[in-house]
Structure 1
Amino acid sequence: MSWDVVVRIGNSDIFAPISQGGPVLGVSFDRPEDPFLARESVLNKIADVLGSVPGNTACDLLRAAIAVYSADLLISRRYASDGWTRDINIYLPVTSLAIWQQAGPLLTELLTFLSGDRWQFYFREFSAEREGYKKLPENLPEAVSLFSGGLDSLIGAIDLLSEGKKVALVSHHGGGSTPKFQNDLFKCLKDEYGEQVVPLQFYVLPPQVPRIDSDPDNEDTTRTRSFLFFVLGIAVADTLGTGIPLYVAENGLISLNVPLTPARLGSCSTRTTHPYYIALFRELLQALNLAHPLNLDYRFKTKGEMLRESKNQDLLRRTLPLSMSCAHPDNRRLENLPPGGHCGYCFPCIIRQAAVFESGMPDAAYDHDIFHLPPLSRSDKGKDLRAMEIALERFSQRGEEKAVFDVLSSGPISPDELSQYIGVYCRGMKEIAKFLRSNKDE
C-alpha cells in the first residue's frame, strides 16, 4: 500500500494529486483553519530571535523535513506488507523547481538509508509570498550547534563556547520532559557564558489527525527525526548567512551504531549520524546551493574520550547530571514514576554509564541497577544489555583485526575514514567492556 502525503502552503493552494486509490495524508502550512496544519512555528521563532528568516530554498527544505517527519510519525509500520518498509509519496511545493528536481534523487537516497522506507518526491512550482530578508542585527551567532539536551550535545556546546564563539544552540522537542532538560542546561550555559549563548528551541509535531480506537498508535521508530533536527539547524544557519557552520556533537561509537545482533541489521538500527547519512546530507546541501559546512568534530572519539577531553571540566561536572541520554525518559509513567529520568537499561544509558565510569564526576540517578538487580535477558528491560553482552563476546572472540566487518555492517564508509572509524569502534567497545567487568567483579 502506497501513501500520498500532500503538502499545501497558504489558503490558495488547492493542489490534489491524481488518485492512486491509496490513503492520503495532508500536511499544511500557513492555512490556519486547515485540520492538517503542521504544529510548528519555526520561521516565526527564527524571526523573533534573529530578526530575519532563511532563504527560499532553506524554507523549502524545512517544509520537506516537517512533511517527512509527519509521515514518519503518523503512518504506522503495521500498515506495511513486511511490517516495516512503507511506501510514501511526498507532493511538495518548492520555489526553485529545477534545483529540487536535480536534488530529488539524493533526498530519496538519504531518506531511504535513514528510515528503511521507499520514498518518492513529486515537486511543483510555488511562488513565495512573504517578506524578504530584513536587516540582520549586529553581534549575531557565528556558529550553530544542535543541542538535544544529551551529554554529547552538552559537551559540544561547552567546547564551542569555551573557544569564545557566540553559538546558536538549536533544540527540538515534541512535548514531554525534553524541554525541561534543555532549559535547565540553557540556564547553566547562560550563567557561565552569558550572551555567547543563543537558545533556539523549536516545537514541531505533525498535524493532529482525528483517530478512532481501532487505529494503530503513532509510529514510535521515528527514524527521520535526525533529518528534521539537521534541517532546523540549517534553517538557522541560513538565516545567519552563507558559510555559517552547523556543528553536530556525537561520539563515533553511537554514530556507527553497529548492530549488536543480526536482528538489528539495516534500518532496524538507527542511523542518526552514520557517516554515509552525513555524506549524503552534505551532498544534498551542495545540490541545493546551501553553503553551510557540516562539522562532526567528535566522530572519531568515544563518549568517554569526549567527557575526559572537554574544555571546561568544572562546568561539565556541574551540568552532567542535568543532561538526558535515556532513549525513553517519559516511559517512567508506566512504573508510576514522574517522567524525565534515566532508565539505566537502554543502550544509550549503558553507553553513558560506561563513559562516566572513570571520570569521577557525579551523574544522575538511574531507575534500574542493571548489575545488582539485572533485568531478565528476554524481557524488554533486559534485551539491550543482553545484546550488548553478545556483541562484546563476539568482538572479543573475533579480535580487532576483524572489526572492519562489524563497522561496515551498518553502512558504507569512505575508505579515507575507515581506519579511524574502526579505531573508535574498538576503543568504544573496550570502554563498555571495562565498565561491565568492573561491576561484575565487585
Structure 2
Amino acid sequence: MSKHRMHLSLPKASLASLSTSDFLWRPLGEPSSFHTKLSPRAEEMGAVPDENLELIRLAALTYLVDRTAPRPGRGWARELELVVPVFDPDRWAPIVDRVAATLAFLTGDVWEVSFVAKRSAARRKLQRDIEPAERVSLFSGGADSLCGLLASLNADVVPHLVSHWDWTIVGGAQDRVVGVINGIVEAHLTRDVIRIGRQRKQIGSNHTFPSEPTSRSRSLLFIALGLAAASVRGAELWVPENGFASLNLPLARERRGALSTRTTHPWLLDELQALVAAVGIQATIRNPFEQMTKGEMFRQIASDYGADDSAAVLSSTHSCARSGANYEGFNPGMHCGVCFGCLVRRAAFIASGVEDGTTYIEDSLRAKPRKRSTWLRNRREDVAAVEYRAKRPYEIADVLAASLPARVDPDDALALANRGAAELARVTIPS
C-alpha cells in the first residue's frame, strides 16, 4: 500500500528530498506541489469554516494521488493510504472507515485514511465581498451543469457558481459557456473559479511525478469546493447531472458501469451528505435531475428558453471524455463523437429535437472513409457497448445490483435506465 501525505509546511532543508508520493500546499506566493490560486485556508472563497477546509484538503489529496498513482494492469485497483492534515482529528475519527469506503465506491480502489492535527498559516485578511445566494451550483462547462444553471434562473433563483479546472481546455470551455449565457439571459452571475492541478515536477526535489490519466475522484473535490461556497453563504448545493448517468448501470456485461466514475450516484450523494453532516457541515447536497434523462433535460430547457437560444447555449458546452487526445488536423478541445459522454450528448439532442451545433471528429472524418476507419478502430468500445444495450433493455436485476439507497424505487430506476438507453439507441455510428 503506497502512502501519501499532504504537508502544509516543510523545513527548507527537506524540500530537496520531497518525494512524488507527497504534496506540499503552501499559501499563495510560495511554491506548492500543484497549480492553484487557492490557499490552504481558502480565504479566496471567504470565511470558509474549518470543517469545510478539512474536507477540501481530504478531497484535494485524494484527487492529486488519484492522478499520480498509476493503476496496475488488468486489475485496475490500487491500494492507497492518505494522511490528511486537519484542525481536529477527533472530528473525523468516528467516520474514518466510512470515508475510506466512500472513496473505494467512487474510484474502485482500496483506501486507508488517517487524519493528523496540523495547523496551516494564519488566515489572511482579504478584501472580498461575498455575494449572497440561496443556492450554489457546480458549473463544469458541461451540458448538465448548464441545465442546472438555466433551471435555477428560470425559477428566478440566481445561483453562485463554482468551477474547478486543472486543464486549459476545461477552463476555456467554462468561460465560453458563460459568455454565451450572458448573451441570452439578463442575470449577474458570480463564480468561484478554482484550479487545482498537479505540477509536472515535484517542488524542491525536481522529481517528475508519475501520471495516471483516470480521474474518478475529481467529483469529490468539485463537491468539496461547492460545499465550501455553500457554507459561506448558508446555501444549498446543486450537483446537476442527468439521472441516467447517475445510475451508472453497465452498458455491457463486462463493464463496471457506463461511466468510469460514480460522480452523482444516489448512494454516493446520500453517503456524502451523511458524512459531511457528521463533521458539522450543514449544507444540503441535491441533484435536481436525478429522475431525468439528458434528453428530457434538454427538452425542458428548450421549453423554457426557446429552440434557438437552447441550441446555441447547449452546443457551446463540453462533454467529451477524450478531448486532448491530439489527432492530426483537429483542435485538441474538439468533441470526438464516440466516447460515452459524446454519445449521451448526441442522443440528448436527437431525443429533444434541439439542433446540435457541435462539431464532432467522427462526423468530420466521414468524407475520408479510410482515415476515419483507422481513427475509429481503437475508439469503438463505447459505441459497441451502446449497440449491445440497444438490443437488450435493462432488467430489474441490473437495478438491484446497483447499490441504490432505499429511498430510490427500483421500478422508477429501471424505467429511467431504459428511457436513457432508448435515447442512446437513436445514435448511429457507421463502422
Partners of 1:196 and 1:407 in 2: how far apart? 41
Partner of 1:18: none
Which of these residues, 293, 299, 303, is aligned with residue 294 of structure 2?
Answer: 303
Partners of 1:360 and 1:83 in 2: how far apart? 41
Partner of 1:222: 215
Q: 1:129 to 1:227 in 2, by over 3 A?
A: same
Query: Mean alpha-carbon deviation: is it higher for 128-137 or for 163-172?
Result: 128-137
Partner of 2:283: 292
SS of 2:281's partner is coil
Within 5 Å, give how 1:106-185 maps onto structure 2.
Answer: 106-131=98-123, 137=129, 140-185=132-177
Deviation at 1:411, TM superposition (A): 3.1
AA matched with 2:313: T
Which of these residues, 355, 364, 371, is aligned with residue 348 of structure 2?
Answer: 355
Please say if residues 244 and 417 of structure 2, whose CA atoms lie closer than 8 Å, have aligned partners that are also in contact.
yes
Please say if residues 9 and 29 of structure 1, whose CA atoms lie closer than 8 Å, have aligned partners that are also in contact.
yes
Which of these residues, 318, 321, 325, is aligned with residue 324 of structure 1?
Answer: 318
Deviation at 1:257, TM superposition (A): 1.8
Partners of 2:259 and 2:146 in 1: how far apart? 27
% of aligned pairs identical?
A: 26
Please say if residues 58 and 84 of structure 2, whose CA atoms lie closer than 8 Å, have aligned partners that are also in contact.
yes
Partners of 1:415 and 1:377 in 2: how far apart? 44
Query: Mean alpha-carbon deviation: is it higher for 98-107 or for 126-135?
Result: 126-135
Gaps of at least 5 residues in structure 1 are: 16-22
Whether 1:256 and 2:241 are equivalent positions in the alignment is: no
Q: 1:26 to 1:169 in 2, by over 3 A?
A: same
What TM-score results when the alignment is normalised by the length of structure 2?
0.86
Partner of 2:36: 40
Root-mean-square deviation over aligned CA pairs: 3.3
Partners of 1:205 and 1:149 in 2: how far apart? 17
Please say if residues 181 and 323 of structure 1, whose CA atoms lie closer than 8 Å, have aligned partners that are also in contact.
yes
AA matched with 2:333: G
Partners of 2:427 and 2:299 in 1: how far apart? 15
Partner of 1:368: 362
Please say if residues 116 and 267 of structure 1, whose CA atoms lie closer than 8 Å, have aligned partners that are also in contact.
no
Deviation at 1:45, TM superposition (A): 11
Please say if residues 201 and 208 of structure 2, whose CA atoms lie closer than 8 Å, have aligned partners that are also in contact.
no
Please say if residues 326 and 349 of structure 1, whose CA atoms lie closer than 8 Å, have aligned partners that are also in contact.
yes
Partners of 2:332 and 2:217 in 1: how far apart? 24
Which of these residues, 313, 320, 336, is aligned with residue 343 of structure 1?
Answer: 336
Partners of 1:250 and 1:122 in 2: how far apart? 31
Q: 1:330 to 1:147 in 2, by over 3 A?
A: same
Q: 1:341 to 1:135 in 2, by over 3 A?
A: closer
SS of 1:357's partner is helix
Partners of 1:390 and 1:4 in 2: how far apart? 40
Deviation at 1:12, TM superposition (A): 6.6
Query: Mean alpha-carbon deviation: is it higher for 196-205 or for 369-378?
Result: 369-378
Deviation at 1:132, TM superposition (A): 8.1
What TM-score results when the alignment is normalised by the length of structure 1?
0.84
Please say if residues 8 and 29 of structure 1, whose CA atoms lie closer than 8 Å, have aligned partners that are also in contact.
yes
SS of 1:42's partner is coil
Instruction: Please give the per-residue CA displacement for 1:282-341, whole angstroms capped at 9, x wherever unaligned.
Output: 11111111011111111110111000012323532221221111111221x233422211
Partners of 2:385 and 2:29 in 1: how far apart? 48
Partner of 2:23: 27
Q: 1:151 to 1:24 in 2, by over 3 A?
A: closer
Partners of 1:406 and 1:170 in 2: how far apart? 34
Partner of 1:4: 3
Please say if residues 247 and 294 of structure 1, whose CA atoms lie closer than 8 Å, have aligned partners that are also in contact.
yes
Deviation at 1:254, TM superposition (A): 0.8
Whether 1:277 and 2:268 are equivalent positions in the alignment is: yes
Q: Number of matched residues?
A: 417
Which of these residues, 64, 84, 87, is aligned with residue 58 of structure 2?
Answer: 64
Q: 1:371 to 1:299 in 2, by over 3 A?
A: farther
Query: Mean alpha-carbon deviation: is it higher for 354-363 or for 371-380?
Result: 371-380
Q: 1:177 to 1:291 in 2, by over 3 A?
A: same
Partners of 2:39 and 2:231 in 1: how far apart? 12
Deviation at 1:122, TM superposition (A): 1.6
Deviation at 1:14, TM superposition (A): 11
Partner of 1:390: 388
Partners of 1:45 and 1:163 in 2: how far apart? 34
Please say if residues 143 and 247 of structure 1, whose CA atoms lie closer than 8 Å, have aligned partners that are also in contact.
yes
AA matched with 1:220: P
Partner of 2:84: 92
Partners of 2:20 and 2:332 in 1: how far apart? 34
Deviation at 1:34, TM superposition (A): 8.2
AA matched with 1:363: G
Partner of 1:238: 231
SS of 1:286's partner is helix
AA matched with 1:392: A
Partners of 1:45 and 1:286 in 2: how far apart? 20
Q: 1:53 to 1:316 in 2, by over 3 A?
A: farther
Query: Mean alpha-carbon deviation: is it higher for 426-435 or for 111-120?
Result: 426-435
Deviation at 1:133, TM superposition (A): 8.6
SS of 2:67's partner is helix
Partners of 1:32 and 1:137 in 2: how far apart? 19
Deviation at 1:367, TM superposition (A): 1.1
AA matched with 1:307: F
Partners of 2:54 and 2:195 in 1: how far apart? 18
Partners of 1:167 and 1:70 in 2: how far apart? 28
Partners of 1:194 and 1:98 in 2: how far apart? 47
Partners of 1:166 and 1:415 in 2: how far apart? 29
Query: Mean alpha-carbon deviation: is it higher for 262-271 or for 289-298?
Result: 262-271
Partners of 1:430 and 1:120 in 2: how far apart? 40
Please say if residues 36 and 195 of structure 2, whose CA atoms lie closer than 8 Å, have aligned partners that are also in contact.
yes
AA matched with 2:23: V
Partners of 2:149 and 2:29 in 1: how far apart? 39
Whether 1:73 and 2:73 are equivalent positions in the alignment is: no
SS of 2:283's partner is coil
